[in-house]
Amino acid sequence: MNDELVRLVDKLAAEHSLSVDEYEALVTGYSPDLAAELAARAVTVRQSIYGRDVFVRGLIEISNFCRNNCLYCGIRRGNKNVDRYRLTEDEIFECADEGYSLGFRTFVLQGGEDAYFTDEVMCRIVAGIKSRHPDCAVTLSLGERSRDSYRRMREAGADRYLLRHETADGAHYARLHPAEMSYENRIGCLYTLRELGYQVGCGFMVGSPYQTAKNLAADLKFIESFKPEMCGIGPFIPHHDTPFRDFSPGTLEMTCYLLSIIRLIIPPVLLPATTALGTIDPRGRERGILAGANVVMPNLSPTSVRKKYELYDNKICTGEESAQCRGCLDARMESIGYKIVVDRGDAAGFKK
């Protein structure tokens, strides 16, 4: 292994910070040996905080209607081949009830930016879940909304919000999104959510079209300075009905490498081994945990809609019942010596 790169790993582990140029050197200096070294350190750090516990989040995909036209996303407004659906309030409550009985204590409501889900409707859903299951956390992942909307949903009981920044480089952001979307607004939303007292998650796709090592270095520096409680990263996977259909997917190796680096930047961060990682490799989620991740997010959506929430091609777990997904992940985690726990799974050191 290159001494200079090992020195950077030492520095990152000790100081949880590198310069942008150093992050770039680490990204371009990828080698299987260096990845193994980073993973070993990331696992040690994760183990010292969370042991061998893996937190589980029940993902409920509430709608695939979306007003946005992100170039990478299968449910973009411009995709006329999507069979659009939205869950009713009762269907959402049923998913949460079923999840609760399966041991989930966090529910993530994710969807496209669907005007049907007004503040009033969302507040009713959030409050409804919290009153049925007061010991659970509710996480929202509904894209960009106004400060007032975020505030109202927070007051209704929402605990966390996932909004991937997608890329920390404005020029790269503009190549992934249509002109009507803005990098500044996306980042502004993250700071607003933080101010309102949400536990906030940012994140990005690994290997998205036009992404450079410099872009990834900027992502890592942004994560270092924003210090999110959660960070979602997964490989970009092309969807056949999008402008990015012919781009190559991101790799398992680079995703795991970046997971390890992010663990060292923010030791207590909640880091999922994502469904996209499980999609590009049959043991991708296990590999993610072994690189330093500590969260998995199985699907709790009704089986009837799962295929319709297709952000990218070949998404896994679209045929299974929720209980099967839960059992499958239990077995996968057990196979590598980890254990899914029944717990809200707040970030260590974060006040409730």
Provide the binding-site residues for ligand SAH, judged by CB under 6 A.
Answer: 72-73, 110, 112-113, 141, 143, 163-164, 166, 205, 234, 236-237, 239, 276, 311-312
Q: Got the DSSP string for 65-76?
A: --S---TT-TT-
User: Residue 34 or residue 73: which is nearer to ligand SAH going by CB?
Assistant: 73
User: Residue 110 or residue 294: which is nearer to ligand SAH going by CB?
Assistant: 110
Tell the smallest beta-carbon distance from residue 233 to ligand SAH (Å). 9
Tell the smallest beta-carbon distance from residue 219 to ligand SAH (Å). 12
User: Residue 249 or residue 345: which is nearer to ligand SAH going by CB?
Assistant: 249
What residue is closest to ligand SAH based on CB?
143
Tell the smallest beta-carbon distance from residue 237 to ligand SAH (Å). 4
Tell the smallest beta-carbon distance from residue 25 to ligand SAH (Å). 26
Helix (H) / strand (E) containing 260: helix 252-265
Tell the smallest beta-carbon distance from residue 60 to ligand SAH (Å). 12
Tell the smallest beta-carbon distance from residue 129 to ligand SAH (Å). 18
- The owner of tokens 């997608």 is 166
**Cβ pair 63, 87 in contact under 8 A:** yes
User: Residue 41 or residue 145: which is nearer to ligand SAH going by CB?
Assistant: 145
3-state secondary structure 29-67: CCCHHHHHHHHHHHHHHHHHHHCCEEEECEEEEEECCCC
Q: How many CA atoms lie within 13 A of 294 on its CB side?
A: 29
Strand partners, 60: 109
User: Residue 159 or residue 166: which is nearer to ligand SAH going by CB?
Assistant: 166
Judged by DSSP in three states, 25 sits in helix
Q: Which positions ≥6 away from 131 have C-beta within 8 Å?
A: none
* Closest to 44 measured CA to CA, from 260, 220, 317: 260
User: Residue 43 or residue 92: which is nearer to ligand SAH going by CB?
Assistant: 92
Q: Which positions ≥6 away from 191 have C-beta within 8 Å?
A: none
- The owner of tokens 């690994």 is 206
